[in-house]
Amino acid sequence: MIKNLIKSTLTLSFTAVLLYGAPANHFNVIDGDQEEKYEKEFLPSLEDATGFSLSDPHEKIDDAYAKRYGNPQNPDYDKAWTSSLDNLGFFSVSNDVALHDILLSSPQIAGFEPFNLLIYKRKADNVSYIGHIAPQAMLDVAGVTNQADRKAYVEMFKPLDAYVTKVFGGKILDTTFDKLPPTTMMTFELKVDRSGDVVEWVEAFQEKFEAAFEEKDYVIAGFKNFKETYEEDLEMPFDAYDQFFVYGVCHFTFSYNMFNKGRPDAGVFAPCSMYFYIKKGSNKMVVGMPRLAVWASIMKIKDPIKLKWIKKIDAEIISMMKGLGAKEI
């Protein structure tokens, strides 16, 4: 019995890393430039049609690249500048009602919430791509094992995908990946000072967090407070947590070197979602974010320059979090 238990445990551990043919990304590939239709027709109707709401839109990121890296007057000018994109847009969405019960039992899925409903068009093709990471991949990376949560999370995406197809049509492109890195998430704990108001402690931490990341050329590209969303906006109970919020963070130069230099499809991972929660009465804040090494595995990135960037960003984020007093777990 002991031998069988050990064998079963090893098998589970092994299959968590080796996932041959696992769903990676889901895209609609549509003829022509769909930017205007996406922003003026699709997004305004999205919530009523699907339950997914938009937060922190970032349209035409390719224009921002041109202003910073394509401008000889800018100190960050890239002498090898060339624009490969007609459109790159990051649009963070979440179905908060459907997500509510899942967050209560599997809070780590917030490493992908909100997630990017990406749109991009290369200059080289006359097609637009609209899509997202496959929900199964999000669940596997985040380490969600609760089967009811996994089923509900995958089901949540069906109305979204159906509506994209209804509005845009196009061909469906579902990609797969072969394996995940041995460690998919970076996870931390911080000791919470409960001698005073926990909200004030969190606000003071947030100020330090934002300053530390901005000092290293990271952009705070989004923020969602799930505690406030549920208790104040939706009037849904969420008292299992004293605090629960998510930052969207992005290193702009890294994103330029990734998305404008051949891999705009990797934008499904951007901006990186870093979640923070404090369970009711707890004296620790739990923090988590998918490692960028996951990008390399799921997107099958082989370019050594991009891989070097990925390794650098993972190490730098871990270092910054430790500098803020976090303990890696």
pLDDT digits (tens, 9 = 90+) for 212-248: 999 999 999 999 999 999 999 999 999 999 999 999 9
Global confidence as pTM: 0.92
d(CA 38, CA 75): 33
Least confident of 3-12, 31-40, 125-134, 303-312: 3-12
* Closest-CA residue to 46 (of 94, 6, 112): 94
Per-residue pLDDT at 275 exceeds 80: yes
Per-residue pLDDT at 94 exceeds 70: yes
Task: Find the DSSP H helices in 18-111.
Answer: 35-37, 43-50, 61-69, 96-105
Per-residue pLDDT at 313 exceeds 50: yes
In this structure, the number of other CB atoms found within 10 A of the CB of residue 66 comes to 15
The order of strands in the sheet holding 327-328 is 218-225, 241-251, 272-279, 284-290, 185-191, 327-328
- What are the tens digits of pLDDT across the range 158-178? 999 999 999 999 999 999 999
Per-residue pLDDT at 11 exceeds 70: no
Q: What is the pLDDT of residue 19?
A: 73
Per-residue pLDDT at 327 exceeds 60: yes
- What are the tens digits of pLDDT across the range 59-85? 999 999 999 999 999 999 999 999 999
Per-residue pLDDT at 16 exceeds 90: no
- What are the tens digits of pLDDT across the range 246-256? 999 999 999 99
Per-residue pLDDT at 1 exceeds 70: no
d(CA 329, CA 319): 13
Calculate mean pLDDT across residues 292-310: 98
Q: What is the mean pLDDT of the chain?
A: 94
Q: What is the pLDDT of residue 2?
A: 37
Per-residue pLDDT at 6 exceeds 80: no
Per-residue pLDDT at 144 exceeds 80: yes
